[in-house]
Structure 1
Amino acid sequence: MPLPLDPVVEKIIPLLPLRDPTVMTPQSARDSLRALADARAAVPPPPVEHVSDIEVQGGAGKRPARLYRNGSGRAPTVIFFHGGGWVAGDLETHDRQARNLVIETGAVVISVDYRRPPETRFPGAFEDAFAAVRDVVARIGEFGGDLSRVGVAGDSAGGNLAATTALACRDAGIKLAGQLLVYPVTDVVGNFADPTENARFPSRAENAEGYFLTRATMEWFCGHYLAEMADGADWRVSPLRAKSLAGVAPAVVTTAWFDPLRDEGHAYARALKAAGVPVRYHEGEGLIHGYFGLGDASETARTEAQRARADFKALLVKGVA
């Protein structure tokens, strides 16, 4: 039997934003996520020696990014993409996640501020993510300095961008040491509104509401990111629909048990394994979508996130053969 909902997380759920898409606008979604981050301002962030705002190449020009590192020697390099349903989230809302990646993996981390919908719809965010990886790889001497130890990471919509970028890197001949996919979106065919498509993933019904991220909110996010519903079949937004996953970078995939995205994340982990890709999978028992941001409050969330980051560190340390 899976673990019940973590009681600490259960108390936090009513305080979390983005739960009612009937009254949500892109700006209110952004404001509420930023306000959640700002509410923790009195809690010192995880300490990292060097943090600086930089620019990386995007799909249509330079994009803001933030560089995090400890020390100055050779190290793995991780390009990180924040979550927020593609619409919300930014460098500030995911600052602590980026810092924890540095501390627990020893990597230089570059957090990328990709273009967001509805101002820039699909494939804008994907194009920015892939362009950023190519730029960092081309300038690796300015970052970790080791082309054999480059990885991508992201949570939720950022996990989607990390997964699709890893596929694009495979096709472009860019060798990644690993990908960390944290409760990723992997299949948006039907925009979370089609009963037949939803039935493929029982968690979309089991966890449709009541656990922070709702299925209705996912439908809202997809409606803003995709200009045409048919775009959902494109592997650049639905990596589970890619013709082949063979040869993509080794992966660490996490899901949360009480998350509508649970089953598609698990399906992606299984599909990667079936394609011969080394995978470590964490199912996140007792946890909800977004638990990587709840580690200060929930020991269960902190421990599960640390396990995933430890697995990712092992991939980065090993590097590309």
Structure 2
Amino acid sequence: MGDVPGLWADSESGDPQRVVQYLHGGGYVAGSAASHRRLGGHLARAIGCRVFLVDYSRAPEVPHPGPLNDSMAVYRAVLAAGVGPDRFAVAGDSAGGGLALATLLRARDEGLPQPVAGFALSPWTDLEVLGASVDTNTGADRLITVGTLRSLAATFLADGDPRDPWAAPVHGDYRGLCSLYLQVGGAEILVDDSIRVAESARQSGIDVTVDVVPGMQHVFQLRAGRLAEADEAIGRISAWLRPLMGLDTGID
């Protein structure tokens, strides 16, 4: 899509005219469409749509704004293919969750139509790693550390501004954005990356839902099909998104 590679995840009973653009996690240096293929399939089946898993460029070879440029190319291509904004959503996890939010901010800034919704799983939105949950959940988070995140941020930014909202959407102005759903594990050091974005979005009049799942680790939804909490979490995303995309209302 838009000369950017990726993978399509389709549901046998899904609507091919409704699309989720999905941006994988991996700290902007790892991960791929293939690594998230299974999650994409679970989302496609639960929501009843097509999911395009984007293989965006990664640091250090392509630092910021390279990944965002790729995401925007896909965004424009989806719209150009005839998918209406009311049948389109943008999503991602971890770094890809931050990238999804940055994509929505940049689309607004460039005057492009907003999709009907955006959702992010354990989004990394603060490249300075300053949220209160960094301290309160340090002993509970088994997967990520402050040092690792700061090292990844330095690689991704390549001397860029850590408060650029197109890189660190915790600093974004959310006026005019679509409805948002943020889902995060309660044991993560990144809990506040979602809560702070939600507070900013609400102050801008945006409809935003924050779903903190007690005891869960970073992007636990990757264990869909093997972990009940992951399946239930994807079910809640579907229940929120399907009506917005016209899948539960009889909209043709």
User: Could you state the TM-score of these two structures normalised by the residue count of structure 2?
Assistant: 0.90
Report the alpha carbon displacement of residue 95 of structure 1 after superposing the two structures with TM: 0.4
Corresponding position: 1:207 with 2:137 = yes
Match of 1:245 in 2: 174
Tell whether the 8 Å contact from 1:85 to 1:157 is kept in structure 2 after alignment. yes
Distance change (3 Å), C-alpha of 1:313 and 1:216? farther
- Structure 2 unaligned blocks of 5 or more: none
CA distance in structure 2 between the partners assigned to 1:72 and 1:212 by the alignment: 34
Match of 2:183 in 1: 254
Tell whether the 8 Å contact from 1:104 to 1:313 is kept in structure 2 after alignment. no
Secondary structure at 2:4 match in 1: strand
Alignment equivalent of 1:220, drawn from 151, 154, 166: 151
Alignment equivalent of 2:192, drawn from 263, 266, 277: 263
Match of 1:138 in 2: 80
Secondary structure at 1:63 match in 2: coil
Aligned partner letter, 2:17? A
Larger CA Rg, structure 1 vs 2 = 1
Match of 2:24 in 1: 82
Report the alpha carbon displacement of residue 81 of structure 1 after superposing the two structures with TM: 0.5
Tell whether the 8 Å contact from 1:183 to 1:261 is kept in structure 2 after alignment. yes
Paired residues for 1:32-181 under 5 Å: 56-57=1-2, 62-70=3-11, 75-140=17-82, 145-171=83-109, 172-181=111-120
Tell whether the 8 Å contact from 2:165 to 2:171 is kept in structure 1 after alignment. yes
Distance change (3 Å), C-alpha of 1:138 and 1:85? same
Tell whether the 8 Å contact from 2:57 to 2:67 is kept in structure 1 after alignment. yes
Match of 2:124 in 1: 185
Aligned residues: 246
Alignment equivalent of 1:308, drawn from 237, 241, 250: 237
* % identity of equivalent residues: 27
Secondary structure at 1:120 match in 2: coil
Report the alpha carbon displacement of residue 74 of structure 1 after superposing the two structures with TM: 5.4
Report the alpha carbon displacement of residue 314 of structure 1 after superposing the two structures with TM: 2.8
User: Could you state the TM-score of these two structures normalised by the residue count of structure 1?
Assistant: 0.72
Tell whether the 8 Å contact from 1:208 to 1:216 is kept in structure 2 after alignment. no
Secondary structure at 2:101 match in 1: helix
CA distance in structure 2 between the partners assigned to 1:219 and 1:207 by the alignment: 17
- Structure 1 unaligned blocks of 5 or more: 1-55, 193-197
Secondary structure at 1:151 match in 2: strand
Distance change (3 Å), C-alpha of 1:146 and 1:69? farther
Paired residues for 1:226-241 under 5 Å: 226-228=157-159, 230-241=160-171
Tell whether the 8 Å contact from 2:29 to 2:58 is kept in structure 1 after alignment. yes
CA distance in structure 2 between the partners assigned to 1:301 and 1:79 by the alignment: 20
CA distance in structure 2 between the partners assigned to 1:81 and 1:155 by the alignment: 7
Q: Alignment RMSD, CA only?
A: 2.0
Tell whether the 8 Å contact from 1:256 to 1:284 is kept in structure 2 after alignment. yes
Tell whether the 8 Å contact from 2:15 to 2:50 is kept in structure 1 after alignment. no
CA distance in structure 1 between the partners assigned to 2:98 and 2:232 by the alignment: 23
